[in-house]
Chains A and B, each alone.
Chain A
Amino acid sequence: MADTTHGRSGDSDTRRDFLNLLVNSVAVFGVAAVAWPIISSLNPSQDVLALSSIEVDLSQIEVGQAITVKWRGKPVFIRRRTPEEIKAAESVDVSTLRDPQPDKDRVQKPEWLILVGVCTHLGCVPQGQKPSEPRGQFGGWFCPCHGSEYDTSGRIRRGPAPLNLAVPQYAFESDTLVKIG
């Protein structure tokens, strides 16, 4: 028995090493080939992806009014800014900001500010959409969870959040219709 299991010399060790390597490679490849579809199945499915853009009618929104729409399960803030809010957003010295970005990079039309309404700290929805809600010291949004304050361009100005409110991909299909996503 000993002969068949161990062979006579180092030669058989090399062959055994080779076989072990081969078997283990096949096993690793097999596990990976099985893990791939399983993990992939947890990613968004086709029906979820199919719903990843929405169209919003802007014609009913007055100057100074804000609405919240749901996009990919998250709130999207659409605020029709007043001239004062636009001016306040544009006049900030960008170099003093935590996440420096000029207002013109954050809007396509200065009147319409469109943001993903999710605080960049830990994912709460900031307040400030309704006139009755606190907007913080900078006139934008105030997150009730940990006190982050955003300005009228949705940029982080105070509090623990590291980044500005995200701007989703969107396009104006006409003056009163915007497609988000």
Chain B
Amino acid sequence: MAAPVFKNAVVRWIDHRLPVFSYLHHEAYEYPTPKNLNYWWNFGSLAGFMLVVMIVTGLILAMQYTAHVDHAFNSVERIMRDVNWGWMLRYLHMNGASMFFVVVYIHIFRGLYFGSYKAPRELLWQLGVLIYLLMMATAFMGYVLPWGQMSFWGATVITNLFSAIPWIGNDIVTLLWGGFSVDNPTLNRLFVLHFLLPFVILAVVVVHIMALHRFGSNNPLGIDTKGPQDTIPFHPYYTVKDTFGLGIFMLFYVFWAFFAPNALGDPANYIPANPLSTPEHIVPEWYYLPFYAILRSIPDKLTGVIAMGASILILFFLPWLDRSPVRAGTFRPVFKWFFWILVFDCVILMFCGKNPPESYWMPFSLELVDADTFTERVAEIRSIPHDQALNAVGDMWGVNSAAGSFGIKIVRLGQLGTIYYFAYFLIILPLLSVFETPRQVPLSISKPVLGGGKAMAHATAKSMEKA
């Protein structure tokens, strides 16, 4: 770890007075990284890349955008039609938001599976959750800016969440709006905050990386590095691996941006905002859907909002809910199952958030039908009169199990999903910490990587003594 000697005299001169080059060399070049990282570890750098893409394209778009209710929609259309390459910059920004969430979700689930939130990386994890919260806020505000129907009604619905607060809720909402509805003052402040928050995210990312470099990356075995034989320098090994992953990811990203630019968005947002008419189905962007499903699962307004907030805030406490000393899910035979059920559960919640709560999902025929159609099906299959079928369908869970007509109301499915989501963090993980018997973890990273053997185990023990 001796200070590097730079060949370039100017670099040496600067570095002597302001050691930025030494710092970079230390943190991005020789930075010792576990040698067994797999491709799931690419997504942190991909998230950082997406942040840069969003800031660069966003700055350029902001130079062409007008934050005023009379001009916002048209200024976005002007970007699409008249500004040189404006269509590309906007599509890259628009789909970039989705891609940012894709990589961040994979990054989060990577952390959940491999126990990256456990000691001594609790703060690292919490900073990540903070970044995720800031991202959600930023993405929401960005979605308001084109001032289409979904922008306007999304803004109305999300700001109205605060009206659930007892006593002062409505005053807070008026304060947020700067008026008595979502209007020009609201658009202006959301634009300012949408511009500001990415730089706040950037600052938190820097702190996130500082926390990361304190103990270094976790790894697929979830065990600590025990010395130089377990690590390789970040450059060129992981710079190359990250760059390769970036290339693959870029293919995925530009596929959306160039071939299906509006596939992830809602067509209703190409209708200018109309404060007098709400669209028939208000659906948030895909990355909010699980939380939207949790919100809708709970029939009480305040409790629903609390549950939605808690579903994210609970992640802050995760390091203390999962007390198992074994980090990687690989060595936790029971945890593994519950983890994959959680992944599946989040997909189910997305599905519930996407579809009308009063409709029925029929898993055997893979159909989504409205309540009337479902009642007809039940009457037909059971050969019972319509009102009797109506009663059968209207029972508490909205589940009907007659042969071939099994269906579940979307809102009930969402409730089951919500229950599992919270149970995973509040019941399953704490209990697993006590009752699960983990498999034997390897002695060191070198052992499984190099095929093991007594010599290696010996070497490890020796290097530990040194450390």
CB <8 Å contact, A41 and B83: yes
Whether B64 sits at the interface, judged by CB under 8 Å, is: yes
Q: Please, what's the 1-or-0 string for A115-155, where 1 marks a CB less than 8 Å from any CB in chain B? A: 00000000000000000000000000000000000000000
CB <8 Å contact, A45 and B60: no
Q: Please, what's the 1-or-0 string for B35-69, where 1 marks a CB less than 8 Å from any CB in chain A? A: 00000000000000000000010001001100000
Whether B378 sits at the interface, judged by CB under 8 Å, is: no
Residue of A nearest to B84 (CB): A40
8 Å CB interface, A26-82 against B: 37-38, 40-43, 45-48
Q: Which residues of B contact A45 (CB under 8 A)?
A: 64, 78, 82-84, 86
B: number of interface residues (CB 8 Å): 13
Q: Which residues of A contact B81 (CB under 8 A)?
A: 46-47
Q: Given A40, A41, A46, which contacts B64 in the complex, CB threshold below 8 Å?
A: A41
Residue of A nearest to B56 (CB): A38
Q: Which residues of B contact A38 (CB under 8 A)?
A: 56, 60, 85, 89
- Looking at the assembled complex, report how far the CB atom of A17 sits from the nearest CB atom of chain B, in whole angstroms: 14
Q: A-side binding surface: helix, strand, loop or mixed?
A: helix
Residue of B nearest to A5 (CB): B236
A37 to B88: give the CA distance in the assembly, Å: 8
A89 to B223: give the CA distance in the assembly, Å: 90
Q: Tell me the A residues contacting B by CB distance below 8 Å.
A: 37-38, 40-43, 45-48
The answer to whether residues A41 and B86 also contact, given A46-B81, A47-B78 and a CB cut-off of 8 A, is yes
A45 to B63: give the CA distance in the assembly, Å: 12
Residue of B nearest to A16 (CB): B236
Q: Please, what's the 1-or-0 string for B76-115, where 1 marks a CB less than 8 Å from any CB in chain A? A: 0010011111101100000000000000000000000000
Q: Given A37, A42, A47, which contacts B82 in the complex, CB threshold below 8 Å?
A: A47
- Looking at the assembled complex, report how far the CB atom of B105 sits from the nearest CB atom of chain A, in whole angstroms: 25
A45 to B85: give the CA distance in the assembly, Å: 9
What are 8 inter-chain pairs, A to B, with CB distance below 8 A?
Answer: A37-B88, A38-B56, A40-B85, A41-B60, A41-B64, A45-B78, A45-B84, A47-B78
Interface centre among A37, A47, A48 (most CB of B within 10 A): A37
A149 to B83: give the CA distance in the assembly, Å: 39
A46 to B86: give the CA distance in the assembly, Å: 11
A95 to B81: give the CA distance in the assembly, Å: 50
8 Å CB interface, B246-298 against A: none
CB <8 Å contact, A37 and B78: no
